A and B are shown apart, each in its own frame.
Chain A
Amino acid sequence: MRGFHVYVLLAAGAASLVYAHLLNPYWMHVAIIAMFYGILAGSWSLLAGYGGLFSLGHMAFASVGGYTSALLVQWYGIPIPLGMAAGVVLSCALGGVIGWVCLRMSGPYLAIFTLAFSEIVRITFSTEDQVTAGMAGLHTAPLFHIASRLPYFYTAFGLLACSVALIGFIVHSRWGLFLRAIREDEQAASASGVAVARFRILAFAVASALAALAGSFYGHYIGILTPSLGGLDLMALVVVMTVIGGMERIPTAVAGAVGVEVLQEFLRAYGQWRLVIFGLVLLLTMRFARNGLLTPIWQQFVRLGEARGAPPAPREAGQEGSGI
């Protein structure tokens, strides 16, 4: 039965939607944040895993999206979804511009350039404090005026599903092939007729738009935005999540994000040690299992339906929304 894994994931997704109300508020919050990271990890994996474009400015786009939406809603009182859309559009355009200006840069130079960009964004947001409230934090309008977190859960789920579907559509089309060709050898790809410039810009624009989507949702969910959303620590966390999961596949990247976030909550007693452990796991992953820790599991999972006609008992299909 081909495509068995897709049905399992759809079933798991549907089940998590139906039974979401059984989660207690704390774990629902964890699930929402996990899905926020899932969008970021998935889009970073499009950029870095598929395109080989190691942007360290991914969180800067999330923060641009978050602040744009929050400020527009605050100034003009526009509906929040409209504000989020504005943030996404602005970030998409900005991402396209960044993708365009760094077309000639490769490898570490691109990483340094995007790191510089994210620093400028962070410094500007924290210094212009009469606009953004600086490090004190900008209060944002909540997306829903209800005590329950359930609507946020559904929204996050929907956003994650749409993001994964969009990225999945891109990477499974010819475009994904072009991106991987660019990653392997830019000159060879260009010689074979791949419009390198167009696809590099496209990857940046799409990934930045999705980061902004995550960022603006996060702002309106948490209720406060600080410049540290675009800081290096969160960027490192997203890299950790993506690489531990497996950055060359969208499902493993997203599952890595969800897994790391859930583990972070389970290991709460260990406090700061968690980040040290994740850093160590990242180094070990890079050193000994560069494809990511979840990739072998995912490959087994995909092969499930092909081996036998009758599928074995549905296994733990993973956390909600680990792929569509």
Chain B
Amino acid sequence: MNWDYLFIQATNGAVIGIIYALIAVGVTLIFSILKIVNFAHGDLYMLGGYCAYYVITLLGVPPLPALVVSMAAVYSFGIVLERLLLTPLYSERTERKDEYGIIVTFGLAFFLRNMALIVFGPFPLRPPSFAPGLLRIGTLIVTNDRVFAGAVGLLLIFGLLYFMNGTIWGQALDAVSQSRDSAAIVGINPRRFNSLAYGVGAALAAGAGALIAPIFSLAPDMGVLPNIQSYVIVILGGMGSVLGSIIAGILLGESQGLFTAFFPDPTRAFAYTNAFGVLVLMVVLIFRPTGIFGRRHVRME
């Protein structure tokens, strides 16, 4: 067994896991407030990556501010989308909200993906790296970009955790997720927090996209795979639980990294690594139809 290879896979796994977790907490946040699964989440991630790319290359902004700009832009875009498309979810008159949520977000994903194909073109793009160079620890070599992505990703996740637990807005979000009516009674406007949740979820996805762009490259369909992997994480970590998503994200990234390292046939290892996570998802759902730590499936009343 080659230990260096194993360590590199483990490091890569941790970085990818953090990025996936960043996407997944957005899915969870949106689910806990709006009670829908956002099937367009991977495409917001894609938009974040492209947004950062164009801010860097066209406006000449350094990568780190570009990350912030991209998150802010996709945050605003997310709020616009939520206002335009998701308001029927809060209306008394809308029937079968599950159905509405699934089709609208799935249709939105289709729309954004094809729009990106036209606007950004089908060819992969690679933005300049955040931190060029390599990091050497003994015999272990990791690119600085991965270290950077992992570190900033962790920072964003902790920022979100602080926001959720330490600020009055986060507590208001939690209140809305538990009961919209009670939250309204104590003076929280649930509508505003719908927008906030969708916007923050979108911004986190955008941050993940911008961080991953120098490592993998940008392509209009880059969001499809992370989107599904984020569902794996959300189902494992519990729909609606932010902390669960973070733990499950890193676990998934690690186990996939090690799966790739140990898979007997290296030519197929990468393809089946993705299938492995998806298979875990299916098995979990069969035995726990609402995920491992999931609350019972709640519908928006």
With contacts A111-B37, A112-B285, A127-B268 taken as known, whether A290 is within 8 angstroms of B110 at the C-beta atoms is no
Q: Is the CB of A111 within 8 A of B39?
A: yes
Pick from B31, B107, B275: contact of A120, CB under 8 Å: B275
A127 to B104, CA, bound (A): 32
- Interface status of A165 (Cβ within 8 A of chain B): no
- Interface status of A276 (Cβ within 8 A of chain B): yes
Among B88, B110, B271, B282, chain A packs the most CB atoms within 10 A around the CB of B110
With contacts A52-B96, A116-B281, A240-B110 taken as known, whether A105 is within 8 angstroms of B85 at the C-beta atoms is no
Nearest B residue to A134, CB-CB = B271
Nearest A residue to B39, CB-CB = A111
- Interface status of B76 (Cβ within 8 A of chain A): no
- Interface status of B117 (Cβ within 8 A of chain A): yes
A101 to B271, CA, bound (A): 25
Interface size class of B (residues with CB under 8 A): 35 or more
Q: Is the CB of A120 within 8 A of B278?
A: yes
Pick from A104, A115, A287, A290: contact of B228, CB under 8 Å: A115
Interface residues of B in 207-253 (CB under 8 A from A): 224, 228, 231-232, 235
Interface size class of A (residues with CB under 8 A): 35 or more
Q: Is the CB of A239 within 8 A of B115?
A: no
- Across-interface contacts of A113 in B (CB, < 8 A): 281-282, 285
Interface residues of B in 256-301 (CB under 8 A from A): 268, 271-272, 274-275, 278-279, 281-282, 285-286, 289-291, 297, 299
- Across-interface contacts of A126 in B (CB, < 8 A): 271
Q: Is the CB of A236 within 8 A of B282?
A: no
- Across-interface contacts of A273 in B (CB, < 8 A): 118
Q: Is the CB of A112 within 8 A of B110?
A: no
- Interface status of B18 (Cβ within 8 A of chain A): no
Minimum Cβ distance to chain A for residue B135 (Å): 32
- Interface status of B99 (Cβ within 8 A of chain A): yes
Name A's interface SS: helix
Q: Is the CB of B274 within 8 A of A56?
A: no
With contacts A111-B37, A240-B110 taken as known, whether A120 is within 8 angstroms of B282 at the C-beta atoms is yes
Q: Is the CB of A275 within 8 A of B114?
A: yes
Q: Is the CB of A272 within 8 A of B235?
A: no
- Across-interface contacts of B113 in A (CB, < 8 A): 233
Q: Is the CB of B111 within 8 A of A54?
A: no
Minimum Cβ distance to chain B for residue A94 (Å): 13
- Across-interface contacts of B285 in A (CB, < 8 A): 102, 105, 109, 112-113, 116
With contacts A109-B297, A126-B271 taken as known, whether A282 is within 8 angstroms of B107 at the C-beta atoms is yes
Which positions in B face A, CB cutoff 8 Å? 31, 36-37, 39, 84-85, 88, 96, 98-104, 106-115, 117-118, 224, 228, 231-232, 235, 268, 271-272, 274-275, 278-279, 281-282, 285-286, 289-291, 297, 299
Query: 23 pairs across A/B with beta carbons < 8 Å?
Result: A48-B99, A56-B106, A105-B285, A107-B297, A109-B235, A112-B235, A116-B279, A116-B281, A119-B275, A123-B275, A124-B275, A233-B113, A236-B106, A236-B107, A236-B110, A237-B110, A239-B110, A243-B103, A243-B107, A272-B114, A275-B110, A275-B114, A276-B118
Nearest 8 A/B pairs, CB to CB:
A279-B111, A107-B98, A108-B37, A236-B110, A104-B289, A275-B114, A127-B271, A282-B107
